[in-house]
Copies of this chain bind each other. A is one copy, B any other.
Amino acid sequence: MPVATPIAVTEDELALVRYDSNGLVPAVVQEQGTGAVLMVAWMNEAALRRTLETGRTWFWSRSRQEYWCKGETSGDRQWVREAFYDCDGDVLLFVVEQEGRGACHTGERTCFYRRFGDGAAGTG
């Protein structure tokens, strides 16, 4: 099993993150090595802190209104290696080691497996 590498942040860094009116910020997850964009999900401040502290990706589910840790049930865990915030502080980027099959609940490695111009085959 991959090893978790927590990221020690300062309160000053965390204070630069800007959440939307629902207290959420989009988090892009990119695979280490391949550079593939795996998925995008949402974090609130607690999910961000938990992600940095545990070295695993934690999100806030808008539909279920609960926290979820990626791969906790599927085994397709994400081990955070680097974490970035953008110039406006309103988008996050996590570079992860992706365990298991991949990031997508459909079984695809990335959630972005459908390309515009290829036709609308399969809805996942």
Chain A residues close to B by CB (< 8 Å): 7-10, 12-13, 15-16, 26, 28, 30, 34-37, 39-40, 52, 82-89, 91, 93, 104-106, 108, 111-120, 123-124
Contact = CB atoms under 8 A, between A and B. Distances in A.
Dominant SS at the A interface?
Answer: loop
A66 B73 CA distance: 42
Contacts of A30: 35, 37
A82 B113 CA distance: 12
Copies of this chain, tallied across the complex = 2
Nearest to A17: B116
Most B C-beta atoms less than 10 A away, residue of A15, A84, A104, A113: A84
A73 B12 CA distance: 33
Contacts of A104: 87
Nearest to A31: B35
Contact of A13 (B9, B10, B13, B119): B119
